[in-house]
Amino acid sequence: MKKVVKFGGSSLANAEQMKKVADIILSDETRVYVVPSAPGKRFPGDTKVTDMLLEAYAMAAEGKDTAEQLAAIKARYDEIILGLGMDFSLDEDFKEIAAVLKEEPQRDYMASRGEYLNGKVLAAYLNVPFVDAAEVIFFNSEGALNTYKTEKTMAQRLEKLPRAVIPGFYGCGKDGKIKTFSRGGSDVTGSLVAQASRADIYENWTDVSGFLMADPRIVDNPAGIKYITYRELRELSYMGASVLHEDAIFPVRHRGIPINIRNTNRPQDEGTWIVESTCQKPEYVLTGIAGKKGFCTMLITKAMMNAEVGFGRKVLQALEDNHISFEHTPSGIDTMTVVVHEDEFMDKEQAVVSGIHRLAEPDAIEIESGLALIAVVGRGMRSASGTAGKLFSALADANINIRMIDQGSSELNIIIGVEDKDFECAIRAIYNTFVNSDTA
C-alpha cells in the first residue's frame, strides 16, 4: 500500500498546523510521498503566502522596492521554523529570490516560491528527501502539461526514493523557466505524483471533512458526501465547488486511483471518496449542487433555422474566430442560445455579433448578461423519477424565475440558469427540497 498525501495552504499555515500534518504523515507509514502547498491563511482576513509573493512580483515589475514585502514573506516561514524548533534557515533562498526580482522579475517563478520553500521546510522537518518539482513536472511549448515526459521522469525519480516531499503548484516550462498551474494547482501536482508513483490512494488534506453537498458559504452546515464519482465531481468542480482543482482528476482517473478528501483538523473523519464508479447508493437523489455567476446569453433567432444545414457551425465559428469558448447551447425551432462567460465575452461582444451576422445571417441577436448557472448533479437522478419536477417546484415556490434549462446528455446533471441576484437563494431552495425534506 502506497499513499500520496497533499496538504492545502490552511493545513500548513503555521507551526501548529505543520505539526498536525507531520502527525498525520507519521501515523501511517504508507503515506510516503508528500505534496505541500504554500502557507495559506492563518485566520480569516489573513493573506496567503502565494498572494504575498504575487504582490512582491507586481511591485518589482513596477520598479518598486520589495525589501519590506520580502521580509514579511520570510517572517511567515521563520514563524513556522521557530515554532517547530528547527535549526534551519532560508536566508540563502531569500537572497536568491531578491536577486531574481531585481534582475528579471518573473511572475510564475515568484508565485512558485511559496510551495518551493514550504517543501524545503517540511522535508527538513520530516527528514525526508526534497524533490524540486521543476525537475519532474514539465510543460510543452503551448503551456499545457507534458504528461508523457512528466510521468516518465517523475516515475524514474521516485523509484529510487522510498519517501519524498515534492512541492505543489509548479513545474518547468519548455523554455526552462518555472511555470505554475492555475491557482489551487497543488491538487494537480498531488495527482501527478500519485499517477507516476502508482499510488493506491491519493489523499487530499484540506480544512473541511470532505466534499459537501453545497458550498458551506451559501448553505448552512451542508451534508457531507461519502462517495462521489469522478464524473459527478468534474461537473461540480467545473461549476465552482472549489475543493479540488478541476484538472486534478485526470491523472489519477486513468489509473483508477481513488482520491480521499480529508480534514487536517479532524483526521478521524473519513472524508469523501472520489472514485471511478461505485455501487454505494447515494443518500439523496442529488449528490451535490454548485454554481457560478457571471454568464451572458446570446439569443439568436432565424426563421426556419432548424432546417438550415450548418447554422450552428457558423455561429460557433464566429465564437472560435474570437477565441471564445461556449458553455451551453440550448436551442429551439427558430432559436439558438449560446451561453458564454461574461468576462471572456465582454470586450469581444460586438466582434462576435458582427461575425455571427456575417457568417450565419440570423434575423436577430439579443444579448443578456447577469446569468448564474447552477448544476444539480447526481448519479441517482437517472433512476429517480420526478427529479426535474421537484427541482422546478422548489424554484417556483421560492419565487425564482428560471431563465434557462439544460439537461446534460449524461443524465448526470441538470443545469439551470437564474438571475445573478437569485443565485444563493436558488441553491438554498434546491438543497432544502432535496436534502432537508427528502426521504428518498
Long-range CB pairs of 316-324, under 8 A, 24+ apart, other chains included: 317/355, 317/359, 318/352, 318/355, 318/356, 318/358, 318/359, 318/360, 319/352, 319/355, 321/355, 322/348, 322/351, 322/352, 322/355, 323/348, 324/348, 324/352
- Please identify, among the stretches 2-10, 18-26, 382-390, 428-436, the one whose residues bind Mg ion according to the rule CB under 5 A: 2-10
Among 17, 186, 195, 272, binds ligand ASP (CB under 6 A): 186
**How far apart (Å, rounded) are the C-alpha atoms in residues 107 and 57?**
6
* DSSP strand pairing (259-263 vs 272-275): antiparallel
Residue 45 main-chain phi, psi, to 5 deg: 95, -15
Applying CB under 6 A, the residues found at the interface with ligand ADP are: 8-11, 37, 40, 184, 206-208, 211-212, 214-216, 241-243
Query: Does residue 428 belong to the site contacting ligand ASP (CB under 6 A)?
Result: no
Shortest separation between residue 251's beta carbon and ligand ADP, angstroms:
17
CA distance 58 to 47: 16
Q: Does 76 bind ligand ASP (CB under 6 A)?
A: no
210 binds Mg ion per the rule CB under 5 A = no
Q: How far apart are CA 24 and CA 108, in angstroms?
A: 30
Q: Of ligand ADP, ligand ASP, Mg ion, none, which one sits near residue 24, judging by CB under 5 to 8 A according to partner kind?
A: none
Entry field: residues in the chain: 440
Please choose, out of 67-75, 183-191, 207-215, 408-416, the segment that lies near ligand ASP by the rule CB under 6 A.
183-191
User: Among residues 105, 119, 173, 184, which is the contact residue for ligand ASP, using CB under 6 A?
Assistant: 184
Closest contact distance (angstroms) between CB of 419 and ligand ASP is 30
Sign, Cα dihedral of 164, 169, 171, 176: negative
Distance CA 87, CA 246 (A): 38
Query: Can you tell me the distance from the alpha carbon of 35 to that of 319, in angstroms, rounded to the nearest whole number?
Result: 39
| Residue 168 partner contact from Mg ion, ligand ASP, ligand ADP, none using kind-dependent CB cut-offs of 5 to 8 Å | ligand ASP
Of the two residues 183 and 341, which places its CB atom closer to ligand ASP in the complex?
183
Handedness of CA 109, 115, 121, 122 (dihedral sign): negative
190/378 with CB nearer ligand ASP: 190
Q: Do the beta carbons of residue 117 and residue 165 sit within 8 Å? A: no
Binding residue for Mg ion (CB under 5 A) from 173, 184, 210, 380?
A: 184
Q: Which of residues 7-26 bind Mg ion (CB under 5 A)?
A: 8
Closer CB to ligand ADP, 38 or 300, in the complex: 38
Question: Smallest distance from the beta carbon of 74 to ligand ADP, in angstroms?
Answer: 21
User: What is the contact mask toward ligand ASP in residues 141 to 170, using x (rule: CB under 6 A)?
Assistant: ---------------------------xx-
Yes or no: say if 359 and 292 are a contact pair by the CB < 8 Å rule.
Answer: no
Residues that bind Mg ion (CB under 5 A): 8, 184
